[in-house]
Amino acid sequence: MCGIVGIVGSRPVAPLIVDALKRLEYRGYDSAGVATLEGEILDRRRAEGKLINLETRLNASPLSGNIGIGHTRWATHGAPVEVNAHPHFSSNVAVVHNGIIENFRELRQALEGDGFTFTSQTDTEVIAHLVAKGLRDGLEPIEAAHSAITQLHGAFALAIMFGTEADLIVAGRNGPPLAIGHGEGEMYLGSDAVALAPFTDRITYLEDGDWVVIRRNAMTIYNLKGVEVNRDEQKSIGSALMVDKGNHRHFMLKEIYEQPEVIGHTLANYIDFNGDKIALRDMGDNQNPLDFANLDRLNITACGTAYLAGYTSKYWFERHARLPVDIDVASEFRYREVPMSEKGMSLFISQSGETADTLAGLKYCEQAGQHLAAIVNVRESTIARSSHNVFPTLAGPEIGVASTKAFTCQLSVLASLAVGAGVQRGHISREQEIKLVRELSEAPRYANDVLKLEDSIKALAHTLANKEHVLYLGRDTNYPLAMEGALKLKELSYIHAEAYAAGELKHGPIALIDEEMPVVVIAPYDRIFEKTVSNMQEVAARGGQIILITDPRGAQEAGMDGIKTIIMPEMPEIITPIIYSLPIQMLAYHTAVHVGTDVDQPRNLAKSVTVE
């Protein structure tokens, strides 16, 4: 997750910005930069790698301006090299940006036609040129910034500085968080309150669609239409030494809201957005290169939510890559004495990379001579160190015990791997690869749109809070997602929940249906929707209380009165498991809040299970 810091001050700000960026290091990054305004000249220092490299540049060639912006970057569009590091300049404009601009291709082509020259591979540079174009066309700086923001599609946070304005930063968000800090004769901007903790404990959080004009002694917040809005100032309890909940009640809710951002950064680690192609990083070491074309079987082993991510990917690998997949719960895997294929690969999924059962399965496969790969959130973990290939998720620290953003990042990695495997194995054409890559790149925006459904989901959660049992149904990739929904509800609210493949309903679970049984059905309108609807009708005929998670076409085609619905946006099939994860997370979260359980630390559970 990129980190953004800005200061409109009355003293040299570059050292302060670097210190603030250090407090955002937990978000992960691969380059960093700072820009300040000295007189009427924008100047910057950028460096690949860690902040110590940027500090070395600044020590050799200091920046002395009293207003500035800084950035730590996880590479999305373009390699993690200095020319792609932020801030980006265009004429007298400087920009830092977090997120993915989905329409950057169209914007770039139009700007190049208007005579603008691009010096980087990033999508961010289009923002700087858009603002510069607005200035060239006669707009005032604030107007030019607003005009540029309204032209961007995607999930993003950004900050803009002008060479002509010694008392102005314009910032905006559409997804990734931004916090404004209030000082005495200084104002601050940061990706979270942790970055600003040494400066102030007076924080205002921007809401989705807000943009803000920040000056040394004041700020004004507007919505996208340019109408002034009010946002409450809060006292932050964050310190410079801890991850902060921000303006969220629980870490889990904060982590749910971080998903547009972390999904985007994770996908960017495996996709070349500029080239519209899969570019799998960490594909292999020199001694153990990985080529999916040489595999005849993939074995996936994991526990809990990670297992369900792997289960989802079984459909992807078999459908897109025609690669047979075995999926096992790690605690059962090694005891069934699995015969391993000589041309097989074993993939282990673990958020912590220390899960005892999963690690035991890895050792079994190592002894069997298998090629070993891992999907982990901690690259220095035991499972990562023990594997030939490591495919990291870029979720950042996950404090809530019940996994949210780690799960969707695991799905993002697996979707990318499945498409990459399909390309390598010759089952995905170049045209299909372009289509799938562009569909995957839309996931952050769809995730951000779904977060806006929270109030309606919260209302539905109240209907579950007084129930003793809940049933979840789904088909295809929605079956493991139903299992994840049931697991989340059990973990958080202590309500008994079960999940079944919808076609199995009449083979037993239908005996449980009565007027008191809520049934959550996950069913976007797709090629098997009609089959799922027939199962829903069986539930409705027996008085079951249906909560249908679907899209507008699905809600229309269901044709059933009296069912409650969560209406999702229509979206490409490849990303539905990623995006439909959010409403099941929010449904479980708000049910637990209503019940009154400890959401972040449910009873009897640990974040990392390191013993069998």
The catalytic site residues sit at 2, 607
> Of the candidates 482, 471, 548, which has an alpha carbon nearest to the alpha carbon of residue 511?
471
Q: C-alpha 53: how far from its chain's center?
A: 28
Calpha distance 378→355 (Å, rounded): 12
Per the DSSP assignment, residues forming a β-bridge with 474 are: 501, 522
If you ran DSSP here, which 8-state letter would residue 449 be given?
H
69 and 6 in contact (C-beta within 8 Å)?
yes
Q: Could you tell me the CA-to-CA distances from 404 to 52, 305, 400, 585 in Å, in that order?
A: 32, 9, 8, 7
* DSSP states of 470-498: EEEEE-TTHHHHHHHHHHHHHHHH--EEE
> Of the candidates 292, 413, 423, which has an alpha carbon nearest to the alpha carbon of residue 349?
413
Residue 455 neighbours by CB distance under 10 Å: 8
- The one-letter code for the residue type at 448 is N
Give the total residue count for the chain: 612
347 and 377 in contact (C-beta within 8 Å)?
no
Q: Could you tell me the CA-to-CA distances from 295 to 290, 325, 383, 414, 421 in Å, in that order?
A: 9, 11, 21, 16, 10
Q: Which two tokens stand for residue 92?
A: 């007298």
Say which residue the tokens 């510069």 belong to.
132
557 and 533 in contact (C-beta within 8 Å)?
yes
Calpha distance 41→87 (Å, rounded): 14
End-to-end CA distance of the chain: 33
> Of the candidates 152, 433, 487, 154, which has an alpha carbon nearest to the alpha carbon of residue 307?
487
